[in-house]
Structure 1
C-alpha cells in the first residue's frame, strides 16, 4: 500500500462543536492525507467538497469491501452483521427499498402534525414545571424517539433501555469493548423479540411491513431484518436528538442570527439547512475502499486502499461556500453533505429535516426569550461518543 507515515486521526479532540482546525490547511495543501484512526488499517483522508462527494457517491468506492478488511474506524466494534451500511448496490438498493416508502417527502409531511403535537406537549410539560429545564432530556430526546417509535412500532416506554443500547453502539471510548458487545447483543435480541411478536400479530407499522417483506416476499434475510430494525431505531432518533440542542446552542452563540430567525419564522427551513452545514456532528467518517485506481485532487487512490471522507470539512470548503466559517441563515449556495451523499445518503433525512424544523418553530415560538439558564453549569458535553452534542442543556425563558 502507498499509505505511509499516517497521522493519528482525529488530529485532536475539538471542544464542544468546534471543527478540526487542520481541515482548512489540508484542503489547501494536502487534500489527500494519510491517517490512522483509533482502530483498523491506515487510510486516506479527503477534505475537499468535490472529493468527498466522489468518495461517497462514485461506484468505484465500496462499502461492502470493508467487511473483508480491517476497516479504519473510530469505534472498537464494527456494528451489527447485516447492517445496511455494509452493502453496495444492488444489495444496498434492495434493502433500502424495503423501508424507503416510510421516509418519502409525502409520508414525512403526513407526520408533521403529529410531531407538532408531541413538541407542544413537551413544551407544555416544561412550562408546567417551570424553568430551568433540561432541553436534552425534556425535549430533544423524547421528540424524535416518540416519532420513530410510533413509526417503527416500538413501545415508547422502552426508550430508556434502547437509549443506553444506542449510546453503546455509537460509543468510541465511553463504554468498554465488553459492554459494547453485551449491549449490542441485547439490542439485537430486543429487536428479534419484536419481530417475533409481529409474526404472531401482524401490523401495518414499519416493523410489520419489514416482517412481511421478509416472510412473504423473501426480500430480507432474518439477519438483515433485525439489523434494519436496529438501524432505523438508532439512526431514526440519534441525529435529531443531538442536533436540536446543537442548533439551539449555535444560535445562542450567534445572537444576530437568532434574532433574525425569531423575527422571521419562515426562515426555519433554510436555517435548518445552514445549521446542518455549519454544525459538525462527528469527527470521523465511514471508510470506503477503492475498487480500482481513482484520481482525486491530491493524487491517486490505488485499488484496495481505504478512504475516509470528512463531511464536516467539505461543508466548510471555500471553493464552494463564501465565508463558510460564518453562520448565515439566508445562505443559498451548494447543497451541504450533512446528511451524506450518494447511495448511502441518510435514509431518514426528510424525517430529520421535518423534526428539526418543528423543533425550532416550537421552541422559538412558544418559549419567548429562550436562553441559557445562567447557572454556571448549563452545558455538559458528550464524551467518548462518535456523535458530537450536549448531554445536558439547561435553559430558561421569559414568563408568558
Structure 2
C-alpha cells in the first residue's frame, strides 16, 4: 500500500494510563477508517462496538494472508508474523482444531475447580508483597508473577524452566520501538518444544500434555503454548494494576465487594470494560472483500479491531467514560466475541477477583504512591499495559 501522509498514525509509545484514547475522535468520525500502523503500513481501524462485534463473527477475517512475507504489519514483531498463515481455509481449520483441543482445558467448570488454588496463590503473593519496603511496584512484584505462575501451571511448564521461559517471553514481547525489534521466538519455542517432548513419557493434566496426546506436532504445540502465555500474561497483569488504581478511587464499591462475590464480579466486569483506554488492538486480515459501514475492506487488507475504543462507545455504554460497577448490561469486548472469544476468559475473571480480594484484604490502605500523570503505559510492547505502579499501604 502507498504511504499516505494525511492518515492518522498509531503508535506504541507510552501514554497516560488514565487518559481517554486520543483515537476517540476517529470513533466520532467513522466506524471504520484508514490509519497508519506503528510499523508504517496502512490499515483499517474499527472504532465502534457494533462493527467490531460484527467483524468478530466474520470468518472472512483471520490470521491469513496470501503473501505472508509482504503482508502489511500492525507492529514489527517476529511472534506476530509467525502466526500468519498463507491459506485462509487452512488457517480457519487450524483455529477450529485449536479451540476444540483447548476448549475443555479452559472450560468454566474446570476453571471454577481451580479457584481455591488461584486464591491461595493470590494470598501468598499478597503476603509477600506486604512484607516489602514501601513504595513497591505492584506490576513487577505482584501482578506479573501472579498471572505468570498460574499460566505456567496450566500450560505445564516445569518449575525449573519457568525463570528461563519468563525471560524469553519478555524479550519477544517487545515490538519495533526506537529501531530495536524483538528477537525471534525460536529460543522460547525450543524450550517449550523440549517440555512437550517430555510430556510423551510423563503426561500431566495440562495444556501441553493435551496437545501432545492429540498428536499436535511438537513445533506447533510449542508455538501454541507460547502464544497462550503471551496472550494471558500481560493482559491479566495489566487489568490487575489498572483495577487497583480504579478501586482506590471507589472505596465504597470496594468495601461492599470484598464480602460479596456478585458485587466483586460486577467490579471485575467494569474494570475489564473501563480500565484500558488504549492498547487493546487485535490485528486480522481480510480473505475477501467486506462491505461494512459504507466502506469496502479489500481482500488482503489489514484490519485492526480496537477493543478499548469499542468498550467506550457511547452508542452502547451510557456515560462510557465513567466507572460504574452497577452497569447492566455490560457487553464489553475485552475478551473478544464469537469465533475470537478468549478461551481463558473464565480463568482471567477468577484471577482478577481473587487478586483484588487478596490485595485489599491484606492491605486495606493500598493506594498509588505517585500522581496520576506519572502512570503511563509500557512503550514498545505488544500489550500496552501499565509500565509500573508504585504503591503504598
Q: TM-score, normalised by structure 2?
A: 0.87
Question: Match of 1:217?
Answer: none
The 5-angstrom pairing of residues 358-397 of structure 1 reads 358-373=354-369, 381-397=377-393
Cα RMSD (Å): 3.0
The 5-angstrom pairing of residues 1-400 of structure 1 reads 6-10=7-11, 14-23=15-24, 25-39=25-39, 41-65=41-65, 68=68, 69-79=70-80, 81=82, 88-129=91-132, 131-173=134-176, 179-181=182-184, 184-214=185-215, 220-252=216-248, 255=249, 257-265=250-258, 266=260, 267-280=263-276, 282-283=278-279, 285-373=281-369, 381-397=377-393
CA contact (8 A) 2:35 2:44 kept: yes
CA contact (8 A) 1:136 1:391 kept: yes
1:301-346 alpha-carbon deviations (Å, 9 max, x no partner): 2333332121111111111010001111111134101111221221
Label 1:67 to 1:57 Cα distance change in 2 as closer, same or farther (>3 A). Answer: farther
CA shift, 1:114, in A, is: 0.3
SS in 2 for 1:287: strand
CA shift, 1:377, in A, is: 11
CA contact (8 A) 1:378 1:395 kept: no
CA contact (8 A) 2:21 2:278 kept: no
1:58-98 alpha-carbon deviations (Å, 9 max, x no partner): 123232237635133123435374579x9743321111221
Rounded Cα–Cα distance in structure 2 between residues aligned with 1:137 and 1:70:
35
CA contact (8 A) 2:17 2:276 kept: no
CA contact (8 A) 1:83 1:231 kept: no
Rounded Cα–Cα distance in structure 2 between residues aligned with 1:28 and 1:173:
30
SS in 1 for 2:65: helix
| Greater mean deviation of Cα atoms: 157-166 or 39-48 | 157-166
Rounded Cα–Cα distance in structure 1 between residues aligned with 2:294 and 2:307:
17
| Greater mean deviation of Cα atoms: 230-239 or 328-337 | 230-239
1:276-300 alpha-carbon deviations (Å, 9 max, x no partner): 1112275362333333332222423
CA shift, 1:355, in A, is: 0.1
User: Aligned residues, how many?
Assistant: 386
Rounded Cα–Cα distance in structure 2 between residues aligned with 1:157 and 1:391:
27
| Greater mean deviation of Cα atoms: 280-289 or 327-336 | 280-289
Unaligned runs of 5+ in 1: 215-219
| Greater mean deviation of Cα atoms: 369-378 or 312-321 | 369-378
1:244-285 alpha-carbon deviations (Å, 9 max, x no partner): 112112333xx2x23222233322111111111112275362
Unaligned runs of 5+ in 2: none
SS in 2 for 1:316: coil
CA shift, 1:176, in A, is: 6.1
Label 1:320 to 1:30 Cα distance change in 2 as closer, same or farther (>3 A). Answer: same
Q: TM-score, normalised by structure 1?
A: 0.86
Rounded Cα–Cα distance in structure 1 between residues aligned with 2:269 and 2:312:
14
Label 1:282 to 1:161 Cα distance change in 2 as closer, same or farther (>3 A). Answer: farther
| Greater mean deviation of Cα atoms: 9-18 or 306-315 | 9-18
